Amino acid sequence: MCRRIYIDQSFVEIARKFDFAERGNVDDLGDRLPRYSGAPAEVYHIIIQDVERQRDRPKPAFAIARWGLFPSWMNQPRRQPPVYARREEIASNELFHDAYRSRRCLIPIGGFFEWADGSEKKQPYAIAMRDRSMFALAGIWEVWHHPAGIDIRSFAVVTCPSNETISAIRNRMPVVLRPEDYKRWLLSDRDPRDLMKPFDSAALTMWPIARRAITVRNARPDILSRVDLNAKQVAQRQSSGRF
């Protein structure tokens, strides 16, 4: 389902990779990038179709947004806002349908973490492109107007059934978009449902990582290192005297 994301590049490098989007004066998030264990409720760079600053000819532009969607019509945001929007209900659920029709976004990342379904020890895995290049998840965004006069932009990640690679551990995954589909996802096509599909398994790689990834504060670069599950299982048996 995409429990956590990681961004192993600076904003300068992100802006270079997604150079079709205007950078403008957006905050570069300073020492929060790179970020090796990004969780919901934190702020990230997203790419939106910027109609506020460019009404005549809207163009893709970087923006800052909080992960966890606050619909604009809510009087008071939920304590735990939705961080995912399921493909199957995105066009009909009142929390998502307005944003889906007109406020879609790209979420640039280096990869994401998943935990194996039914895993007693909550074994985490990292998923990325085979060439380790940055890519974009499909998202939707909103702006909620706080009574104090503050505008809060937020987003949710769109999810779909898992591909063959990820189905080994979970039955859902985030929607990963191909670069040639970025423009269509951002534009005013009211229902690009054919883009919300499992990504090509051959283009992705997945590997087990240390269980300390469960804790957000463990966010050093080595959190992405592959672990040997067989060696871990042997060590656990030795420590428990089960040999």
The pairing of beta strand 104-109 with beta strand 172-174? unpaired
Fold of 4-240: hypothetical protein yedk fold (3.90.1680)
Q: Which stretches within 24-126 are classed as H helix?
A: 97-102
Tokens (6 digits) for 100: 């889906």
The CA-based dihedral angle spanning residues 79, 81, 83, 86, taken in that order and rounded to the nearest 10 degrees = 140
Distance CA 18, CA 130 (A): 19
Q: Has this prediction a pTM greater than 0.85?
A: yes
Decide if 109 contacts 137 (C-beta within 8 A): yes
DSSP reduced 3-state for 160: strand
Ordered per-residue pLDDT tens for the chain, 243 residues: 677 999 999 999 999 999 999 998 999 999 899 999 999 999 999 999 976 655 667 789 999 999 999 988 887 766 789 999 999 999 999 999 999 999 999 999 999 999 987 655 688 999 999 999 999 999 999 999 888 888 999 999 999 999 999 999 999 999 999 999 999 999 977 889 999 999 999 999 999 999 888 787 777 899 999 999 875 553 443 344 343
The CA-based dihedral angle spanning residues 162, 224, 62, 17, taken in that order and rounded to the nearest 10 degrees = -90
